[in-house]
Amino acid sequence: MVASIESSTNQELVGFIWSIADKLRGPYRPPQYRRVMLPLIVLRRLDAVLEPTKQAVLEAKSKYAAMGLEGDAFEKAIAKVAIGHPDKQFHYMFANPPFGVEWKPEDFIKDEYDNLGFNGRFGAGLPRINDGSLLFLQHMISKMHSSPEVGGDGSRIAIVFNGSPLFTGDAGSGESNIRRWIIENDWLDAVVALPDQMFYNTGIFTYIWLVTNKKAAHRRGKVQLIDGTRHFQKMKKSLGNKRNELSPEHIAELVRLYGDFEHNDVSVVESDGQIEKRVCSKIFDNQKFGFLKITVERPLRLNFQVSEERLARLSEQKAFQDLATTKKRKDAKVQQLEIEMGESLQNQILAALQKLNANKLYLSRDEFENDLNRVLKQAGLSLKAPVKKAILAALGETDTEAEICRDAKGNPEPDSNLRDTEIVPLPDDITLPLPLEYDKDASVNELIKLVKGHCEAYFKAEVLPHVPDAWIDFDKTKVGYEIPLNRHFYVYQPPRPLDEIENDIKSLEADIMAMLGEVV
């Protein structure tokens, strides 16, 4: 793939990655050097000389070891040297970070995110703690030269991931926001799906992400997906889980697909022992990878009844229980007095409620509250809001035939048990980047101005026919990005004909009966 990234260069690759792990392994056990390695990938220009970096880290190792630093202190000290070069950028960067490595112990990563935001490397967000792959990519992006549009040279990145960074993480999550940041800045050039069983330690499918801030004009605003899962040959001798390899012909074909940049471009591949033509290249606008996650609410409908069963539930409500508790800690007599007063109030409430008709089923909360307030007033009781809320919770049950419960402004209250979400694709013509910040509390007001009509049209067509009393809570809207590469290249395989399956079953049954006959 290097050839496809920059065919014009005549420079040879000069040690573009130097493994810090090999230099730090020594007396330190795997948990230590892995924790050092996660954020520390040395990225160099193709014509760079690595010796200064090597020397700096080795000198730092000797220095801090001589100081007696161990554990976290040693790791952080070395980290500052290894991830240094804050003023350096690189034209070409390549990495194959470890899959599924936990980064939770790295407090300085979270500190950088919290304190520096986009002035650091991780402003778009942090992935979940059990997979730090996207941290590597964010670090590499921080080392890119400025784009040609602003007078820089630009940079190109190739990084190998497992499938997780393509789609893991809900809308608004760290992973989704990192994908959004990359795609909305038009840095994602292509994703190439590789065959499985390509690595010694794992047989999973892997994916090359090509990231750049110097796209050719015809590639701008678009992402190319390449299915290379069938471009392989079997190895003569497997190495661990590695049983497949790319031949020079396979590599040339993948490079051709990338270079031709054609939607629905085909390759001749082998599938289930058959040679066939398959679509192996698809091209999409950046907007196609984004979506809106809208929250669909339905109204709360409750009936109320003062039956023995529901009255018994009142004693389980915390606010009602707290009436007969005390916060006094020293004076036992005062404690006992407060408890007795609380129990008396509980009994008065129950007595007042029992004056209501136990057989009447209220289908209106307003009507029930009116009657409730009346009997409480007659009993001379003035209850605080939490206790009233506890009474309503104990005596109420959801009922689709009941009237809608409304707030003080007359708006329907949502039923959290009926709350649902819908995934709405971004409008094709929306301008990127979206007017939405990356922190979890960012206002969606400006975004909603752009997408409200689009969401309402989707809602009217897809939701209202099934639940006509539903509505959208736009304040809960979230933006998500995913790269469903496998979905785009999925080819439906019809099941075998029933007659054929039935004949196979009969044949197996005959074989079984024959074997049983031999035993008997």
pLDDT digits (tens, 9 = 90+) for 457-513: 999 999 999 999 999 999 999 999 999 999 999 988 888 899 999 999 999 999 999
Which residues are 281's β-sheet partners?
A: 226, 265
Query: In the chain, how many domains are there?
Result: 3
Which residues are 191's β-sheet partners?
A: 209, 225
pLDDT in the model for residue 445: 97
| Residue where a domain stops, chosen among 341, 372, 398 | 398
> What are the counts of helices (DSSP H) followed by strands (DSSP E) for the chain?
18, 14
Alpha-carbon distance of 98 to 34, in angstroms, equals 9
What the block records as the tokens of 340 is 């007795």
pLDDT in the model for residue 37: 41
Alpha-carbon distance of 430 to 1, in angstroms, equals 32
Spans of the chain below 70 pLDDT: 1-87, 105, 328-329
DSSP annotation string for 301-365: BEEE---HHHHHHHTT-HHHHGGG-----S-HHHHHHHHHHHHHHHHHHHHHHTTS-TT--BS-H
- CA–centroid distance for 111 within its chain: 21
Decide if 103 is inside a domain. Answer: yes
Q: Are strands 222-227 and 207-212 parallel, antiparallel or unpaired?
A: unpaired
pLDDT in the model for residue 68: 65
* H-only helix segments in 29-100: 30-37, 51-66, 71-82
pLDDT in the model for residue 67: 64
Nearest to 158 by CA among 43, 274, 292, 293: 43
Per-residue exposure over 279-303, b if at least 16 CB sit within 10 Å of its own CB, e if not: ebbbbeebbbbbbbbbbbbbbbbbb
Whether 5 contacts 254, CB under 8 Å = no
Question: Up-side HSE of residue 448: CA atoms within 13 Å toward CB?
Answer: 13
Question: Up-side HSE of residue 488: CA atoms within 13 Å toward CB?
Answer: 23
- CA–centroid distance for 352 within its chain: 52
Decide if 288 is inside a domain. Answer: no
Nearest to 61 by CA among 104, 91, 38, 28: 28
Decide if 236 is inside a domain. Answer: no
Whether 177 contacts 171, CB under 8 Å = no
pLDDT in the model for residue 184: 98
Decide if 418 is inside a domain. Answer: no
| Residue where a domain stops, chosen among 85, 115, 145 | 115
Range of the domain at 514: 495-519
Whether 46 contacts 91, CB under 8 Å = yes
Helices 332-353 and 365-378 sit at what angle, rounded to 10 degrees? 120
Residue where the block lists tokens 């007696």:
68
- C-alpha angle 205/208/213, rounded to 5°? 160
Decide if 43 is inside a domain. Answer: yes
Residue 297, SS3 per DSSP: strand
Which residues are 290's β-sheet partners?
A: 481
pLDDT in the model for residue 59: 64
Which residues are 297's β-sheet partners?
A: 471
Decide if 394 is inside a domain. Answer: yes
What would the 3-class secondary structure string for 132-156 be?
CHHHHHHHHHHCECCCHHHCCCCCE
pLDDT in the model for residue 73: 58
Residue 514, SS3 per DSSP: helix
pLDDT in the model for residue 66: 65
Decide if 457 is inside a domain. Answer: no
Q: Which residues, 6+ apart, have CB-to-CB distance to 424 below 8 Å?
A: 291, 292, 293, 294, 451, 454, 455, 458
Q: Which residues, 6+ apart, have CB-to-CB distance to 173 below 8 Å?
A: 125, 128, 480
| Residue where a domain stops, chosen among 66, 98, 115 | 115
Decide if 22 is inside a domain. Answer: yes
Q: Which residues, 6+ apart, have CB-to-CB distance to 38 below 8 Å?
A: 98, 101, 103, 106, 132, 135, 136
pLDDT in the model for residue 8: 36
pLDDT in the model for residue 63: 66
Per-residue exposure over 488-504, b if at least 16 CB sit within 10 Å of its own CB, e if not: ebeeeeeeeeeeeeeee
What the block records as the tokens of 414 is 């949502």
